[in-house]
Structure 1
Amino acid sequence: MRCLRPDKPWTTKLSSAGLVYCHFGSQILGGLLGLPADSPVVTLLYDKLYENFVEEIDAIDNGISQRDGEPRYALTTNLSARVGHLNPRWNDPDQDTEAGFKRAMELVGGEFMERLDYYHRAWLPARALVEEAVRRRFEVDASGEVLELPQGGCPWKEHVFGLEKELALPKALQLVLYPDRGGQWRVQSVPAGPHTFESRLPLPEPWRGVRDEALSQLTGIPGCVFVHASGFIGGNRTREGALEMARRTSCFRSSHLPLHLP
């Protein structure tokens, strides 16, 4: 059975868990969060929890492969597998499945609540932070391609991809600035996609693997700390230095200017 809600794009065949979630998920989430079932927060979390929790259960329960080709490794610790391990062994003298079922309910219920708590109290606030940064991006750099976040550790990548589409940004975001926990700053490339390590705009190749004063001399930017060997991230002691690294990277990409500008 497919999802019966015409407003959703999901096509994975439903398990019994998915069927319950499809019909009653919004009411369940609203009750747990103390919000109306049709509130924007519940609607957003409903989709997020289905795509990142329930749909996996539906697919595994219905024998739907995650990929068409040969998998590179086995996945044996997913939620469905953990529930399956709670069943009695085939050769156990005691074949009482009721005890295992109760343990499974506790396991799945606990994980569901933990995931809801994370998405509600961490993932959702991060989205608001990234959206505000997107709207203020031209205050950071005239190109509109550099995003500045007020704190590190924020899960920004998925929100960048979603907001680019939702807000129909005319230009893709390329680089993100944020402070680290030590008070220094990072400049990081936006990934080319949600499931790849490839960067949209890696820091220039001659900078990669160079550190500290040698990097500052190479770039002409004071306070440089490092650039990763792959170019996906670099660091500077100050916001101004990290922003200049971002601007220099954009300039080199667009016009092949020298990496060390006077």
Structure 2
Amino acid sequence: MIAFAFGRLRPVLGSRVPIHRYQFHHRIQPLSRTMSSESEQASKKQKMTKVIGTHNGTFHCDEALAVFLLRLTNTYRESDLKRTRDPAILQTCDIVVDVGAVYDESKQLFDHHQRSFTEVFGHGFTTKLSSAGLVYKHFGKEVISNVTQLPTDDEKVETLWLKMYKEFIEAIDAIDNGIAQYPADVKPLYRSRTDLSSRVGHLNPTWNESVDAQAVDVLFGKASALTGEEFLGRLKYYANAWLPARNLLIASIANSLNVDPSGKIIVFEQFLPWKEHLFELEEQQQTPEDSKAIYVVYPDEMAGAWRIQAVPVSPESFQSRKALPEAWRGLRDDELSSVSKIEGGIFVHASGFIGGNKTKEGAMAMAVAALTI
């Protein structure tokens, strides 16, 4: 289990949490000197405090998340925030996101609205970035390293960095840039307004509300905390559940070669979500079609038995690479054992995508027999 360093969300606007909560003085200073010293320290601290700049007015999911992510980095962890479109004020900020019409990493300027902007995440992704994607591209590995407490160069950080972009950040980039999820000629059967970008949008004041700038800043703080909470929740899942399953699958594939040298049968000693990982690994390793897995065998812990499942042609497909034999389909118990000539049969689904046996040996025998039928 990967430890998470940030258990609570801090407000985006308002007071900052000091690095050292308690300070001890070895001797009492005269009041005037103490007040002067405290004033000098406060002034010095103010000068050292980093400032993030973004636009004021209506806010969106991308800059709300960008600000949150920056506050998970070492440089901007204790930063203040200025929401303005005044170029003179923005020039005083240490980093500017989603405003200013300039993308220049060396100057810490991360806007994507200028006509010349064409930046994408890379690594096979082609969606144009928003300010969220820009910040994540440049600071994401550090954020993941800080949250998971893994070294930045750990390969798990790279894996999680890419996974979080694919499953979380890319959609925010696309929505903010007006990139449709489906071709224009496809009419959706229903509308959904519960995605993260929509929920952030709903936090803005309505057109007929009279709200001052300070109140909107408070709402932006809520929006940034909302995006951050979802980001950390998703990262926690991928770090503590998704990634361990991937590692178990890799180990299971290696161990299964001792049982089936062809690699067409994978045996798990415990159930785990395997489909997505298997297809990703096959793509990364460019596994030839005739060497891809056909069946997986794993314990059915609820029933105390074992299952054999056909690998689908794609993670979302109901069609199998090789379904269990047609003669077995729809049969149960003794009838199944009689027809398959394998003891301990429990069932085979009518479509042939899954079956069960009372023992591991029986399930493996079903898998071996099904390969040759």
TM-score range, shorter chain: 0.7 to 0.9
Aligned partner (choices 17, 33, 36) of residue 132 of structure 2: 17
Aligned partner (choices 273, 277, 286) of residue 155 of structure 1: 273
Q: Is the 8 A contact 2:265 2:367 kept in 1?
A: yes
Is 2:166 the partner of 1:86? no
Q: Is the 8 A contact 1:145 1:172 kept in 2?
A: yes
Q: Is the 8 A contact 1:3 1:22 kept in 2?
A: no
Structure 1 CA distance for aligned equivalents of residues 292 and 158 of structure 2: 26
Q: Is the 8 A contact 2:150 2:157 kept in 1?
A: yes
The aligned counterpart of 1:177 is 297
Q: 1:209 to 1:115 in 2, by over 3 A?
A: same
Structure 2 CA distance for aligned equivalents of residues 195 and 66 of structure 1: 18
Deviation at 1:250, TM superposition (A): 0.6
SS of residue in 2 equivalent to 1:11: strand
Q: Is the 8 A contact 1:212 1:226 kept in 2?
A: yes
Aligned partner (choices 219, 237, 243) of residue 364 of structure 2: 243
Provide, for residues 156-191 of structure 1, a one-character-per-residue CA deviation record: whole Å limited to 9, x for no partner. Answer: 111111222334444011110110123211111111
SS of residue in 2 equivalent to 1:24: helix
The aligned counterpart of 2:105 is none
Aligned partner (choices 61, 64, 71) of residue 179 of structure 2: 64
Deviation at 1:131, TM superposition (A): 0.6
Q: Which runs of 5+ in 1 are unaligned?
A: 253-262
The aligned counterpart of 2:336 is 215
Bigger helix fraction: 1
Aligned partner (choices 202, 213, 216) of residue 97 of structure 1: 216
Structure 2 CA distance for aligned equivalents of residues 206 and 78 of structure 1: 45
CA RMSD of aligned residues (A): 2.0
Structure 1 CA distance for aligned equivalents of residues 325 and 193 of structure 2: 40
Q: 1:88 to 1:70 in 2, by over 3 A?
A: same
**Identity over the aligned pairs, expressed in percent?**
48
TM-score by structure 2 length? 0.63
The aligned counterpart of 2:232 is 113
SS of residue in 2 equivalent to 1:198: coil
Q: Which runs of 5+ in 2 are unaligned?
A: 1-116
Equivalent residue letter for 1:133: S
The aligned counterpart of 1:257 is none
Structure 2 CA distance for aligned equivalents of residues 246 and 73 of structure 1: 41
Bigger strand fraction: 2
Identify which range, 225-234 or 79-88, moves more after superposition: 79-88
Deviation at 1:77, TM superposition (A): 2.1
TM-score by structure 1 length? 0.87
Identify which range, 157-166 or 42-51, moves more after superposition: 157-166
Q: Is the 8 A contact 1:3 1:10 kept in 2?
A: no
Q: 1:67 to 1:131 in 2, by over 3 A?
A: same
Is 2:164 the partner of 1:49? yes
Structure 2 CA distance for aligned equivalents of residues 188 and 156 of structure 1: 11
Aligned partner (choices 327, 344, 358) of residue 206 of structure 1: 327
Query: Relative contact order: is structure 1 or structure 2 higher (C-alpha 8 Å, sep ≥ 6)?
Result: 2
Q: Which is higher, the Rg of structure 1 or of structure 2? A: 2
